Amino acid sequence: MTRKFFVCGNWKMNGSKKSIGELIQTLNTAKLDPNVEVVCAAPAIYLELTRSELDPKFSVAAQNCYIVPSGGFTGEISPAMIKDCGMDWVILGHSTRRHIFGESNEFIGQKIAHAQENDLGVIVCIGETREEKEKGITDQVIFAQMKAIADNVKDWNKVVLAYEAGWAIGTGNAASPQHVQQIHAKVREWLKNNVSEAVANSVRIIYGGSVRGDTCRELAAQKDIDGFIVGKGSLKPEFVDIVNAKA
């Protein structure tokens, strides 16, 4: 089965009206592989600006959401609000949310369920920390994350899984293509055994962790790597090279 390559630029807490406008101009005029689905995840305060100025061929994602439609939850945004402003996707379970803000597998599962109730596509992050990798419990950690995801997904057609090597994020040193391929293959096998073979074959599993223009092609060549979630690199001109990694 051919899975459409998927690249998400996660801008994180970066940008201004000026810099985001320049970035959007670069993307709107770049020569990009038409066979790649490209999503830009803007800070919440710039979501509508991004959607209004970015070419419609790109999708826009929120970087987080809460578990109810509305209420007294200062600083949060809901899937209903995200949809109301014209966005198609939300990132959930990012390592930032897990390890800085203390979100549990169960809480992330609740977010997935509520986002899907509002017809949002979900880019769900999984992955291990450096400490967990050194303890040799990567599989245990990732499979526990996967169970919480699978327990809450109603429509796998609107799910992209993002494996983040937490120990590589922001370091400039991506995990080796062989390591990433191995993890992705294990996740696909888990899906086959715990969800269905059809889902295992169709769901896209992308990689995040210091993806750069000079490392993306070897990663993209791996059988089970279906794209990237890109942080720092998505704010630079090299993002074009990353989107075109399979061209």
Q: Which CATH superfamily is domain 1-12+37-44+95-173+187-210+222-230 in?
A: Aldolase class I (3.20.20.70)
Annotated catalytic residue: which of 103, 114, 128, 164? 164
pTM of the model: 0.96
Each residue's pLDDT tens digit in the chain (247 positions)? 689 999 999 999 999 999 999 999 999 999 999 999 999 999 999 999 999 999 999 999 999 999 999 999 999 999 999 999 999 999 999 999 999 999 999 999 999 999 999 999 999 999 999 899 999 999 999 999 999 999 999 999 999 999 998 877 767 667 899 999 999 999 999 999 999 999 999 999 999 988 999 989 999 999 999 999 999 999 999 999 999 999 8
Contact of 91 with 59, CB cutoff 8 Å? no
Contact of 33 with 247, CB cutoff 8 Å? yes
Active site residue 94: yes
Annotated catalytic residue: which of 94, 103, 128, 184? 94
Active site residue 164: yes
Cα separation of 234 and 227, whole Å? 13
Q: What is the model's pLDDT at position 172?
A: 67
